[in-house]
Structure 1
Amino acid sequence: MSYSFSLPTTGAVSFVDYVDSTNSSVSTKIADATAQRGRLRAVLKGMKKETHSERDYQLLINTIEEYLPYLIGLVNCIESKEVALKKDIETSWRSTLSDHIIHTGSNAPRITCKDIQYELIFVLMTYAYACTLKANEILRISSSPYDHHHGVNGDGTSTSNNSHSSAVNADTYNKATNLLNTAAGVFHTVANDVIPTWQPNGSNSNNSKDSDNSSSSSSSISSNSSKPVETNREFAIALSKMTLADAQAVAISKALVTSNISKSLTAKLYMGVVDQYEMAFGLINSIPSGTQEVTTDLKKYLSDGTLYYKAMAKKYLAMDANHHQKMGQACGFARDAKAELKSLQQHSITKAAAHKLKKLSSSGTATTIAVAMKAAKEEEIVADMLSQYQMINDKVSYEPVPSRQELQTLIPGGRNLLELKHFALPEPMFGPSVKKEEKTYLLEGRYF
């Protein structure tokens, strides 16, 4: 699964109050844009009160897709000066990926900033979060839990021959991979096409007065204290790399279920996931001062994920060594994989606590629990493999087991399985670039 994002909420706003337009047709469309935004705000507020299992992420995805053409229309009208502004547009959003002193996640303070691009940044970010959460939901409710690989023998062969189950799993993995890759593309677009156009203008922003119907909403703060991390280009690139790596991890799981992928290639693909995680972590650490700190939950997800997928690569290198009758290497890689999986659990949370806290935990803690539980299951598999390999080596092969340093030189470079899916902003509902008698927005033609 991917990182379990906390969904933001936003304060109420009427775009009509900011626009000075004598064009009644455009004014009507801008009022419609306000109405579409109100629908999105209502969905996000409703989801804040629901548990993860109660949320309808597809509803959120659809609502954003229906709002985006109106928002793009407003953006284009402002940039082309088809409409004049009475004053700078200000919107407020909760920065759920910033590490706040008192509140984090969905209870973080709302930050008010100027410029319509600030609105577009957060709407697209929320869209990417929703795609990721929907992918997690698909994997969670699938008949075969993601990335457990219980049906793998020590030699890498599957213990299951159920073709129907494989077909079901393939469809599940395809849907989840597509959603995660879409999220990666959205983050990439935010980083390269939207954030560079945001103009906060360096002017003071007013605190939001909207209550948002929550006790913490009064914590809304001004943007000149520090910019939310969501508006940092390097951070958006890091999120793109992370979600693309998660998409690749799901694609690897599909390959293991549905094909006879080689064990050496599997190890290289897992190292490809590691490479993306390490680049994402490096980008986050490079974010300059003046921007709020990134939540520690996300940093921990990346560091834990890096350790987990390194262990998975070593698991399959052990299998490959066993296949080629290099029993000393097989024992060494299995030994190191087992040690890293055990270390990951100790750094996360105990298995007993995981079961007890799963329903009560925050999004970030829930992700940590999921990683720890995956590591526990994999450790059991690798421990069985190691026992088999040691028995063969002790009785038949008699090969020396390489040290950790010696094995490190045998780990291959990573390979990528997926290409980033390009995400294009939808055509505007109104304003410049509207093409008549053609599909002009994201969902046109879907409904009758």
Structure 2
Amino acid sequence: MTFAFTLPTTSPVNFTTSFASSSAPSLPSATTTRRALLRDTLKRYKRLTTAEQYNNLPSLLSSISEYLPYLYTVDAYITSQDIAPLAEFETEWRAVLSRRTVSTELPRIRRKGLDYEICFATATLAYVHALRARSFLATAIQAPPPTDSNATNTSVHLINQAKDQILTAASIFLYLQNRSTTRERGGSQPAPADTTTSIYNALWSLCMASATLLAVLKDDPYPSIVALQHDKNSREWMYKAPTVPTKVRSLLLARLCMYSADMAGRAAAGVAATPGSGAELKSYCDDMAKTAKAKACRFLGVDAEAQGKVGEAIGWVSAGKEVLGMVVGGDGDKGKLGRGLDILKKAREEKKMEKVPMEALLGPDAGRLEEAMVLNELERRWRKINDSVNFHTVPSTSSLLTTLPTGRPMFPENQIWTPPKLSSSELLQLQTQSPNGGELDWAGADDSGDDIIAQPESSMPPGGFPRSQSTGYY
């Protein structure tokens, strides 16, 4: 339920050749050192296997959190004219959201101006928070079946941590969106897609959609992960269904899902409107919008079935399948029920998602296949009941889709991240140190090997919902 961002790498930069400060002489040198440490951490991260990358996220978060206060202090000193420019500042980052120029590697783009450095470094912090959200969610999904309230609370706590991480990422993207509309960037070359206002707005919308779905996940009576956590030949979970929510609660969950669908749709439109943006992010946003809307249909179907309206319940799950693109041509119900799901499974197999360890098994479709499996099983069960007992008329999907409720936000949309600055004691130390200040000379660090990537035990496609082959339940 969170996009699997690729973290960028960057070339060495020496702030002392571009900036000098009389009030804090060692600030450029200290900033150079912290940036070099971050650069080295990013390079090491890229060479790790998938499982090792998850374990390395706290270290990476620490490195970037140490660098950003220095970077933003330099920016503030330039604004207040406490730093004098010596030469034009240039920096180079790998654009991870831009369209690939070749099939094997993302482009590396050099631009002038400190704002370019700030945008990439700060966005990297948001990417790390999003990846940590995926890590927490994966841990919650892998947990064994809860045997008591403590086990259940542990899983809920992990999902809450994932939600908090993705909300932090959303606040960072909102800050970058606001900053990009008020700051002029140096140089005459166009900005890469990664640093445009439209892409920041899209990423903020996507994070809000993800956070809302994570909140729904805690209360979802038919979690889509069940379909793959249980034995693929077993349908026992469908006959021992979780407690059905009340009508009011079902409507609330449906409205939250519709909000998520709306935000994901906005994100997809924003990515599509950004020149030079990659296709993977756009595809993921589209999949999340479909998944969230299909979930809303499922909640309304579950509520209808609880009220004895089996025909309407079948109509809602059929509408959800139609939203997911599952309803395809065929002879009778068999074609509609089976072939659409087979198409989604085949698409997953083509992306080499089968037999992948849990640490790397993060689907690229925002849980679309899992939701399709749940809808398919619910429809099978309810049609069997309706055909043998109730004989209710099934309304058309088109008539039901027009009655979907409006979306309802769950989290504030104006939470903006505050850039960190050095403390008074840290500034005082920089003011009393010599320009080198005993810092190591990282500016001339070797730039070779940035593109060397260790062969992981499996690929990690972007985005989606973790899957497990265990029988665990979050």
Matched with 1:329 is: 312
**TM-score under structure 2 normalisation?**
0.75
Give matches, 1:376-415, under 5 Å: 376-415=369-408
Contact 1:19 1:85 in 2 (8 A): yes
Counterpart check, 1:296 vs 2:279? yes
- Structure 1 residues 263 and 279: CA distance shift in structure 2, 3 A: same
Give matches, 1:10-409, under 5 Å: 10-21=10-21, 23=22, 26-55=24-53, 56-103=56-103, 107-144=105-142, 162-194=148-180, 196-202=182-188, 224=189, 226-256=190-220, 262-287=249-274, 291=275, 293-341=276-324, 342=326, 343=340, 346=343, 349-353=346-350, 354-356=352-354, 358=356, 369-371=363-365, 374-409=367-402
Q: Number of paired residues?
A: 388
Matched with 2:236 is: none
Task: Write the letter of the residue equivalent to 2:191.
Answer: K
Shift of 1:347: 5.6
2-side partners of 1:275 and 1:345: how far apart?
Answer: 27
**Structure 2 unaligned regions, length at least 5:** 222-241, 327-339, 430-474
Shift of 1:50: 1.2
Range with greater deviation from structure 2 (388-397 or 39-48): 388-397
- Structure 1 residues 17 and 79: CA distance shift in structure 2, 3 A: same
1-side partners of 2:379 and 2:60: how far apart?
Answer: 46
Shift of 1:161: 7.3
- Structure 1 residues 354-376: Cα deviation after superposition (integer angstroms, max 9, x where no partner): 444857x9x9xx75x3537x444
Contact 1:93 1:110 in 2 (8 A): yes
- Structure 1 residues 280-333: Cα deviation after superposition (integer angstroms, max 9, x where no partner): 11222233xxx4x11111011011111112211111111011122222211111
Contact 1:117 1:195 in 2 (8 A): no
Task: Write the letter of the residue equivalent to 2:419.
Answer: L
Partner of 1:64, secondary structure, is: helix
Shift of 1:176: 0.3
Matched with 2:227 is: none
Shift of 1:349: 4.7
2-side partners of 1:430 and 1:230: how far apart?
Answer: 33
Contact 1:304 1:344 in 2 (8 A): no
**TM-score under structure 1 normalisation?**
0.79
Task: Write the letter of the residue equivalent to 2:376.
Answer: A
Shift of 1:143: 4.4
Partner of 2:98, secondary structure, is: coil
Task: Write the letter of the residue equivalent to 1:177.
Answer: K
Shift of 1:255: 2.9
Identity over aligned pairs, percent: 27
Specify which structure has the bigger relative contact order, considering alpha-carbon pairs within 8 angstroms and separated by 6 or more residues. Answer: 2
Root mean square deviation of aligned Cα: 3.1
